[in-house]
Amino acid sequence: MFLQLNILAFVAGTWLLQQQANLPEADKAWWLLPIVLLIRLLWRAQSKISIVIKRILISVFIGMIGFFWAATAAHWRLSDALPENWERRDIQVIGVIASVPNSNDYGTHFYFDIEKIITEDAIVPRHVSLTWYKDTQPTDQQTGRPMLRAGERWQLTVRLKQPHGNANPHGFDYEVWALERNIRATGYIRKSDENKRLDAMVQKPGYWIERIREKIQQNQSQYLADRTYTGILSTLATGDQHRIPREQWQVLIRTGTNHLMAISGLHITMVSSLIFGLVYWLWRWNSYLTLRISAKRAAVLAGLIVAFGYALISGFAIPAQRAFCMLAVIAWAIWRGRSVSVTRILSWALFWVALLDPWATVSPGFWLSFGAVAIIMLVTVGRIGKLHWLTEWVRIQWAITLGLIPILLVLFQQVSLVSPIANAFAIPIISLIVVPLTLLTIILPFDFLLLLAHGALTVVMSFLSFLGDFPQAVWLQHSPPFWTIATAFIGVVWMLLPGSFGLGWLRGFPARWLGLIAMCPMFLVQLPKPKAGELWLTVLDVGQGLAVVARTEQHALLFDTGPKLGETDSGRRIIIPFLYNEGIRKLDVLMVSHADSDHSGGALSVLSGMPVKKVLSSLNDDHPIRQYVPDNALCHAPQSWQWDGVHFEVLHPLKQDYFELNRKTNRKSCVLKITTAHGSVLLPADIESKDEQALLARSIENLAATVVLVPHHGSLTSSTDAFVKTVDPAVAIFAVGYLNRYDHPNTVVTQRYHQLGSKLLRSDRDGAIMLRFAEQKVVFDSWRRFNQRYWHHRFSEPVTKSGT
């Protein structure tokens, strides 16, 4: 048990490092010295208190080793960086395509290992993420497909920038995701006559693996043609989850079976077990082989080799790492002829995953993978008596579903209510039929087995679609407070202790119903919300676009919905997760200021993901957004309404402005003024100088505001001197994308607000900006300051501090 506790201490140390805003310097490691001296002084002590203290100090020491190991790895990885002065500049490089190219309607994306920098004095990281856009990339004249393959060496002209993601409460942290994968810059390939392929294949093991993965995907696509679930079979073979269409992902998520689409420990263990059994059976038939190495040793070695190969082909994600490490510990024990407890096996797997990948603890897959295995161990290991296999299977499914509820609510704020039924049906078919048949086509020339695998998968997906169509298939809620999660974990463990199932309900640990009570706060505790007369405003970081959430005591409004980017959009990626996590279950008004994609791109996703009572916009009558909700209308002055002591008023456009057929969409932007007793905010969307003049002429008394969302992202076409002086904001917010192609905000515009003494905030540098109008003042904060981590993008200008 002491070993297991020390391993947990090491992992806790790596986790603690990931919570730091700044990396500790190497000289801080002297903190370890006093602990070492104390351990040395207590080493020979025999009293119970001394032994306990010594063990605690040893665990603290090992935890600090984990902390500084993670810090060392982070320093090393962050040192390979793209300097700010080389962002958005043409750089000519030579390197190798280091991943399977992933093509879509916009271009081809891949990872690129840079071997040589041709541009003089340029500094470029060794591993970058590139996109070769469709209009500039080379294509095969016969097939029309991009002429890009994993393992090829190319000379390319690229433009790069430092890894930068949207920074929002409850949002996906792209920057730590990129750090874990050692992606130290992102960019695209410039059109150039000097872009050329130098070598068809670079002979290195990593590139061989990627070429094999690419070949597997191509063979499956060619043989299965346009069959519905080709992407899922490719994912089960190579771990490339990008090949699964979004609609199929939705089915898997709603039924709680999306974990089966990773190369999970279940798949790897199952394949390894099949190989173990096959080799063990065959080996025993040959006495020559048996005399030289036992059948059990040969079988375990073969199973481990196959598991390692499958994990490599799958991309070696955390579930695959965990499964392989556990199998390696088991193989070592069998080879040495020793018995190893399951807790020790899990602990060693935990240690090796954290050692090889110190950032694993910030990955959802880490908690889900190890959490599921720990739950299975809790309900199976050390139990007295033997249950029927079906009863045992149902028990495990129920335990996993119950036990993962707190983790799922923390990570994703949703739990599939049909998950036990879905998994009980899907796991056996996918693990015992679909995956083995798919893998056999990789090893042997039996492509016809893909049709059998696809047929079995079709049955599974049809049933999952049926379950997922139930209206209440998924429980959605806000992210619970931390103390409710801790209480829920205690309740889960209490309910799953021996005696929890079957006749065990009548015996075993007492008062099992207390476990259910311990879980209740997680569902019942409500988040804080504005009081009467208060306004909470959040300007979300959606890149080059705009999305603002305004909340009063009983109502919520969304002003604009951010951009649409390829197959996804800000509504699905950012806005819906934020609303659910903040406890907002419906929108009273969705206001889409105008039709430009950077303001309306996420609207349909919002409308499909959450009830919306009314839509106000400047869109045409036949626009899909207006058609989605029966209660929709054009925004125009002087519309106004009152919510919970907060006044909302539309200042622009006028009704007659809609009759100007040639009027630009920007000039029809809805302008909203929200006024409270504590301050006011002006949301002018993308109005231009002529519209500002019109507002000054007819509504000059309504333009003054405490906070302003700077018109048109700080473009020089807006924010005229007269308009800025009339608004005279204490806080001016620029909703802009990092290194956007328009170079917003314009320095002339920022200077105008600065000269007035306005506090300038920018979504690209500050992330989401949270403002609270209460107690006769406005309090603001930025997400990048509030949630700062050492891996977050650092700017030459400091991220804004909170203020009033």
- Measured distance CA(457)–CA(381) in Å, rounded: 32
Beta bridge partners of 577: none
Residue type, 298: A
- DSSP notation for 76-128: HHHTS---GGGTTS-EEEEEEE-S--EE-SSEEEEEEEEEEE-STT----SEE
Length in residues, the chain: 804
The chain-wide mean pLDDT, for the chain, equals: 86
pLDDT at position 242, please?
79
Tens of pLDDT, residues 159-177: 999 999 999 998 899 999 9
Q: Which amino acid is at 367?
A: W
pLDDT class of 27 with cuts at 50, 70, 90: low
Least confident of 228-242, 378-392, 542-556, 767-781: 378-392
Strand, helix or coil for residue 171: coil
Tokens 């999306």 -> residue: 258
Of the candidates 618, 710, 632, 707, the residue with the CA atom closest to the CA atom of residue 667: 618
Chain Cα centroid distance, residue 542: 15
Q: What is the mean pLDDT of residues 61-80?
A: 91
**Which tens digit of pLDDT belongs to each residue from 114-138?**
999 999 999 999 999 999 988 777 7
Please check the confidence at residue 507 and state whether its pLDDT lies above 50: no
Mean per-residue pLDDT, 544-553: 96
SS3 370: helix
Q: What does the block give as tokens for 479?
A: 């992210």
* Packing angle of the helix pair 318-336, 295-313 (nearest 10 deg): 170
Pairing of strands 568-569, 679-683: unpaired
Tokens for 481?
A: 């407070």
Across the range 274-298, mean pLDDT stands at 83
**Cβ neighbours of 699 (radius 10 Å):** 17
Q: pLDDT tens-digit profile of 378-419? A: 777 655 556 665 666 677 777 777 888 888 888 888 888 888
Q: What is the DSSP string of 725-784?
A: HHH--SEEEE---TT-TT-PSPHHHHHHHHHTTPEEEEHHHH-SEEEEEETTEEEEEEHH
Mean pLDDT for 293-303 is 86
Distances (CA, A) of 603 to 572, 607, 701: 9, 6, 32
For residue 126, the one-letter residue type is R
Q: Is pLDDT of 234 > 70?
A: yes
Distances (CA, A) of 56 to 50, 65, 327, 340, 409: 10, 14, 30, 25, 32
Query: Cβ(239)–Cβ(261) under 8 Å?
Result: no
Per-residue pLDDT of 619-665, as tens digits, reads 998 899 998 988 999 999 999 999 999 999 999 999 998 888 778 88
d(CA 780, CA 771): 4
Best-predicted range by mean pLDDT (173-177, 427-431, 496-500): 173-177
pLDDT at 298 over 50: yes
Q: Is the pLDDT of residue 265 over 70?
A: no
Question: What separation, in Å, do the N-terminal and C-terminal C-alpha atoms of the chain show?
Answer: 52
Distance CA 746, CA 736 (A): 11
Q: Is 528 helix (H, G, I), strand (E, B) or coil?
A: coil
The radius of gyration of the chain from alpha carbons, rounded to an integer in Å, stands at: 29
* Residue 263 predicted with pLDDT over 90: no
372 pLDDT band (50/70/90 cuts)? confident
- Strands in 707-709's sheet, in edge-to-edge order, are 640-643, 646-652, 671-676, 679-683, 707-709, 731-734, 759-762
* Residue 192: CB atoms within 10 Å: 14
E-assigned strands of 91-227? Answer: 91-97, 102-103, 107-117, 127-133, 153-161, 186-189, 196-199
Give 30-43 pLDDT, tens digit per residue: 666 676 666 666 66
Q: How far apart are CA 96 and CA 211, in angstroms?
A: 12
Least confident of 244-253, 414-423, 496-505, 609-618: 496-505
775 vs 502: which has the higher pLDDT: 775
Interatomic CA distance for residues 13 and 20, integer angstroms: 11
φ and ψ at 186, to 5 degrees? -130, 155
Q: What one-letter code names the amino acid at 597?
A: S
Distance CA(268)–CA(304), nearest Å, equals 10
How many Å apart are CA 587 and CA 602, to the nearest integer?
A: 14
Which among 607, 710, 701 is positioned nearest to 649, based on CA atoms? 701
Q: Taking residues 676-700, report their average pLDDT.
A: 93
Torsion of CA 615, 612, 590, 661, to 10 degrees: -20
State the pLDDT confidence band at 504, using cuts at 50, 70 and 90: very low
Task: Examine residue 364 and say whether the peptide bond preceding it is cis (omega within 30 degrees of 0).
Answer: no
| 3-state SS class at 597 | helix
Average pLDDT over residues 265-284: 80
Beta 186-189 vs 153-161: how paired, if at all?
antiparallel
Instruction: Decide if 413 contacts 170 (C-beta within 8 A).
Output: yes
Check residue 439 and give its pLDDT: 84
Q: Which residue has the higher pLDDT, 138 or 272?
A: 272
CA atoms within 13 A on the CB side of 100: 22
* Alpha helices, DSSP H, located in 226-313: 230-238, 246-254, 265-283, 287-292, 295-313
Q: Which residues have a Cβ under 8 Å from the Cβ of 201 and sit 6 or more positions away?
A: 151, 152, 207, 211
Are the beta carbons of 562 and 548 closer than 8 angstroms?
no
Q: Which of 594, 541, 597, 590 is nearest to 565 (CA)?
A: 597
Q: Which of 570-579, 652-661, 789-798 has the lowest mean pLDDT?
A: 789-798
Q: Given this model, what pLDDT does residue 506 score? A: 38
Picking from 351, 350, 347, 304, the residue whose alpha carbon sits closest to that of residue 324 is: 304
Specify the pLDDT at position 505: 40
Task: Please choose, from the candidates 64, 69, 39, 66, the residue with its C-alpha nearest in 3D space to the C-alpha of residue 53.
Answer: 39
> Quick one: what percent of the chain has pLDDT higher than 90?
45
In angstroms, the CA 122 to CA 93 distance is: 10
Percent helix, strand, coil in the chain, to 5, is 50, 15, 35
